[in-house]
Amino acid sequence: MRKNQRFAISAIAITLATGKRVSSVYSFADGNYANVSCDVNAQNISVYDHERGCHISGSESSKNKYSLYDYGLSNHIDLEMKNRGFSGYDYDSGSHFEGTMSGGSVSFYDFETGEFYEYSG
């Protein structure tokens, strides 16, 4: 999964879990922020990635499962919210991802890279 997609998925997960609107996500690995405009409710998701100048949006396909579309890469992303975490599949990379949350922090595991990424929103 690409870096900006990890930022966006982390912003979505934090917003869905906490109800707090996220406007930026901090990456501890990169030591920088990604600015996002995140408009999320239980049924619809719309995130604007200011760095790439594109949206990732979608809707709930079934309880706590979301079908998303990345307009910058023209690909789909599946996201399932779980108790204190999330998992999903990125069709661009053909890889799964998962994460756990604590407050506004996310520990994100990307199966494509085989690495953990830490974010805060």
Give the residue-averaged pLDDT of 70-97: 96
The model's pLDDT over 4-59, given as tens digits with 9 standing for 90+, comes to: 999 999 999 998 888 888 889 999 988 999 999 998 877 899 999 999 999 999 99
pTM of the model: 0.92
pLDDT band at 81 (very low <50, low <70, confident <90, very high): very high
Q: Provide the pairing of β-strand 44-49 with 54-62.
A: antiparallel
Is residue 66 within 8 A of residue 59, CB to CB? The reply is yes
Q: Could you give the CA distance from residue 28 to residue 75 in angstroms, rounded to a whole number?
A: 26
The model's pLDDT over 91-108, given as tens digits with 9 standing for 90+, comes to: 999 999 999 999 889 999
Domain encompassing residue 99: 3-120
Could you give the number of structural domains in the chain? 1
